[in-house]
Structure formats: C-alpha cells, structure tokens
Amino acid sequence: MEDTEYLKAYDLFSDAIFRHCFFRISDRELAKDLAQETFVRTWEYISRGNEVQNLRALLYRIANNLIIDEYRKKKMLRLEEIQESGFEPKENGHEKIEARSEALNALRVLHKIEKESRDLIIWRYVDGFGPKEIAEISGTSENVISVRLHRAMKKLKELLTNDE
C-alpha cells in the first residue's frame, strides 16, 4: 500500500474509527488517542510487509484490541459517567431534549445486555457493518453473527418493551 492510498484510507475511515472508540469508552480525548493509535499500528503492520485484504476490517480489529486494552487498564465505565460525558444536546428545542432522553434510555437498556451482544448491535446499527464485515472483525462465521445479532436484537426489544 502506498502513502497516498493510506492517506485516502485515513480520510475515509478516521471519523468512523473515532466514533467507534468514543461510543465504547465515552471519553472524547481518549477516543481521539485510540483512533490515532489505530492508524499508527495499522501503518506499522502494513510497513512490515503484511498483506491487507480488507483495510476497514483491520482498522476495526486494531481499534477493538486497543479498546480492550483500555478496559483492562480501567474497569468498565458506569452508566453515570456515560451520562455525564456523552450526548450533550444544544439548548434550542424540545426535540433535541427528547432525542437526548431517548438516546440515554437506549444506552441504559443497551448496557443491560451481554457485552458480546452489545458489541454486535453497535457494529451493525451504529457503525453500519454488515454481518460479513462483523464476522471478519470478530473472527467468526457470517451465519453465527447473523444468529447472534438476531438474538441480541430480540433481547434488546424485550428489554425496551419492559422498560416502558
């Protein structure tokens, strides 16, 4: 991969990698650092002559590994910390306040399900990955991902329904 291709990949994926990190750790500065480190490690991997078939999947796998490392350093964030640092609405309308309330409720319910199921839902509906891409990132078959995603969504819907 040439420098120009790598720069194009950075332009294409940097915001998505940042959002991916931020959604999982809820710390803007740390998410920026992890996103930057993701691209540094990707460049190092490519520079060593390793072949990359799916750059997007590689970026997300590296980002996930960095997030896991961060979780090991610090225990899982509590919901209160997420509420304090995330989803700041602008003070110009009832709709934004309502959207924030719904987002916080969805986050609260999302954190009630297993981490594996939560990750699948985030990859699919926040990051926009298909089952095939999720399978590449997680090292599992596409069929297993589809089944687990279906079960995770069923559980999430059940919790959201019971929560109301």
Q: What is the pLDDT of residues 108-136, one digit of tens each?
A: 777 888 888 888 888 888 888 889 888 88
On whether residue 87 sits in a domain, the answer given is: no
**Angle at the Cα of 130 (from 157 to 14), degrees rounded to 5?**
105
**Prediction pTM value:** 0.56
Q: Which pLDDT score is estimated for 123? A: 84
* Same domain for 54 and 114: no
pLDDT at 18 over 90: yes
Alpha-carbon distance of 141 to 132, in angstroms, equals: 8
Mean pLDDT value of segment 142-152:
93
Q: Which pLDDT score is estimated for 163? A: 66
Q: Are 120 and 112 in contact (CB under 8 A)?
A: no
Nearest CA among 18, 51, 48, 5 for reference residue 126 = 18
Nearest CA among 8, 7, 30, 5 for reference residue 18 = 30
* Same domain for 129 and 159: yes
Mean pLDDT value of segment 77-88:
52
Provide the number of structural domains found in the chain: 2
* Same domain for 64 and 30: yes
Q: Which pLDDT score is estimated for 129? A: 85
Which residues 6+ apart lie within 8 Å of 32 measured at CB? 18
* Residue 61 CB coordination number (10 Å): 17
* Burial group, residue 62, by CB count within 10 angstroms (0-12, 13-18, 19+): buried
Q: Which pLDDT score is estimated for 77? A: 47
* Same domain for 69 and 39: yes
Q: Which pLDDT score is estimated for 145? A: 92
What does the chain come to in residues? 164
* Residue 164 CB coordination number (10 Å): 6
Where is average pLDDT lowest: 18-27, 73-82, 112-121?
73-82
Q: What is the CATH number of the domain that holds 58?
A: 1.10.1740
Q: What is the pLDDT of residues 26-57, one digit of tens each?
A: 888 999 999 999 999 999 998 898 888 888 98
Q: Are 142 and 131 in contact (CB under 8 A)?
A: yes
Mean pLDDT value of segment 15-24:
90
Domain final position from 36, 54, 78: 78
Where is average pLDDT lowest: 21-35, 87-101, 143-157?
87-101
pLDDT band at 85 (very low <50, low <70, confident <90, very high): low
Alpha-carbon distance of 121 to 91, in angstroms, equals: 29
Task: Determine the structural domain holding residue 106 and report its residue range.
Answer: 92-164
Measured between alpha carbons, how far apart are the two ends of the chain, in Å? 51
